[in-house]
């Protein structure tokens, strides 16, 4: 066989082998395909359960203690029986006031739950403050204490800083027992009241107001932030997803809002500048998810105390840390609820007075803040009395 013929023969054999290999691969593929057909799409459940409809019933068998009435008389330092009727872009305006509940109904709740006094933080300004005082504090001086608020309408006016400071003296003469700062300052109030850049908590134009409170002996109840989840993306990782879906306006994520950390930092700068003014950091000083941060603020600022309003859900899911926090700062924690809500008092008392485990922190069928339950911290009587009333009596000079 000639060289050329052998080369041709080899080339032919290689081509045949390749073709044969291809046929074998095709045959194997055909065999695999016949043996393992594509999986059909997963069948959808017959009934789809929405998260909003999910209401699991606990199978846990644990003691259930009913605490309809506080063990000792209580001063609720954080309620809102009155409110300003006009509000624009989150900023309360004007002096007209409204009353949320008839006074007799509020007194009935107080008697039923062993509340000896409540503090109306949003008592208004000017003639509105006079209306709140005449409706609550004047006829019932031992049951109600009314706070005033800043007049935000005038923030863009020349001379506002001194005018607002002077206004506090007039408010105290009218009967105001303190000053309430809503999260308006830092999150809603702008240079032109409702327009322009946001005004920061430590803006120097409010320095005369803080100093006036210190000089007049008026405590400042200050709300400057919200739960940390309100400052994060509303997605599947947000533990308050359902709450924010129901109330999307409560979210401060994005836009020109400051972060929670920026708000706390501005508050701290303001506290440091006014050591002679007493501040009540509402909602555990806005650090209920991080009691180490709340402790650091209390340690750094002797002029700061905190209260419990609307944070039993947070405190109750960390009962050991909460118990230590109450023990350590027993002289600087006040009792508050954020409203005259008859249903919340038994839950608050149960959290503070018992060691019950794994119970609901709200009366609704679905928890309002997050899908968890809480545990009681069983405070001893000597701490309980301080939190319930003694600390507030000292603050309000009763």
For residue 314, pLDDT over 60 is answered with yes
Closest CA to 120 of 81, 169, 159: 81
Tens-place pLDDT, residues 153-189: 999 999 999 999 999 999 999 999 999 999 999 999 9
Greater confidence (346 vs 26) lies with 346
Q: What is the mean pLDDT of residues 8-19?
A: 38
As a whole number of angstroms, the distance between CA 147 and CA 215 comes to 16
CB 240 within 8 A of CB 370: yes
20 phi and psi angles, rounded to 5 deg: -65, -40
pTM of the model: 0.88
Q: How confident is the model at residue 11 (pLDDT cuts 50, 70, 90)?
A: very low
Query: Which pLDDT value is given to residue 45?
Result: 63
CB 125 within 8 A of CB 172: no
Sign of CA dihedral 379, 381, 383, 389: positive
Q: How confident is the model at residue 24 (pLDDT cuts 50, 70, 90)?
A: very low
In which residue are the tokens 């002096």 written?
95
Closest CA to 157 of 219, 196, 104, 205: 205
As a whole number of angstroms, the distance between CA 13 and CA 7 comes to 10
Answer left, alpha or beta for residue 124, where phi above 0 means left and psi between -120 and 50 means alpha: left
**Residue 374: strand, helix, or coil:** strand
Q: What is the mean pLDDT of residues 20-39?
A: 44
Query: Which pLDDT value is given to residue 51?
Result: 86
In angstroms, the Cα distances linking 243 to 140, 391, 393 are 37, 32, 35
Q: How confident is the model at residue 190 (pLDDT cuts 50, 70, 90)?
A: very high
Count of H-run helices and E-run strands, the chain = 15, 10
């Amino acid at each position: 066989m000639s060289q050329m013929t052998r080369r041709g023969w080899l080339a032919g054999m290689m081509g045949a082998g390749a073709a044969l290999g291809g046929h074998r691969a095709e045959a194997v593929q055909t065999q695999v395909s016949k043996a393992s057909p594509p999986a059909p799409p997963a069948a959808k459940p017959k009934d789809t359960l929405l998260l909003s409809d999910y209401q699991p019933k606990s199978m846990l068998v644990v003691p259930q203690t009913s605490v309809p009435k506080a063990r000792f008389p209580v001063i609720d330092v954080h309620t809102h029986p009155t409110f300003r009727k006009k509000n624009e872009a989150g900023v309360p305006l004007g002096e007209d006031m409204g009353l949320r509940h008839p006074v007799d109904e509020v007194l009935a709740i107080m008697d039923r739950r062993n509340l000896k006094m409540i503090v109306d933080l949003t008592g208004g300004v000017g003639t509105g403050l006079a209306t709140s005082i005449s409706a609550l504090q004047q006829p019932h001086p031992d049951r109600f204490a009314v706070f005033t608020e800043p007049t935000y309408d005038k923030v863009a006016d020349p001379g506002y800083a001194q005018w607002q400071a002077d206004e506090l003296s007039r408010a105290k003469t009218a009967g105001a027992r303190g000053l309430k700062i809503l999260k308006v300052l830092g999150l809603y109030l702008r240079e032109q009241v409702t327009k322009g850049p946001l005004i920061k908590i430590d803006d120097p134009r409010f320095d005369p107001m803080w100093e006036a409170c210190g000089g007049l002996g008026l405590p400042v109840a200050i709300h400057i932030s919200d739960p940390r989840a309100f400052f994060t993306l509303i997605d599947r990782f947000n533990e308050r997803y359902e709450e924010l879906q129901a109330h999307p306006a409560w979210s401060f994520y994005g836009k020109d809002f400051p972060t929670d950390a920026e708000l706390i930092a501005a508050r701290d700068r303001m506290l440091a500048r006014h050591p002679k003014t007493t501040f009540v950091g509402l909602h555990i000083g806005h650090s209920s998810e991080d009691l180490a941060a709340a402790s650091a603020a209390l340690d750094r600022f002797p002029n700061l105390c905190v209260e419990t309003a609307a944070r039993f859900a947070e405190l109750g899911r960390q009962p050991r840390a909460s118990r230590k926090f109450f023990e350590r700062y027993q002289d600087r924690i006040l009792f508050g609820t954020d409203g005259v809500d008859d249903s919340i008092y038994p839950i608050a008392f149960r959290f503070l007075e018992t060691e019950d485990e794994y119970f609901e922190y709200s009366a609704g069928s679905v928890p309002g803040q997050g899908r968890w339950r809480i545990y009681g911290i069983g405070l001893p009587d000597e701490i309980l009395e301080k939190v319930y009333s003694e600390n507030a009596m000292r603050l309000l000079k009763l």
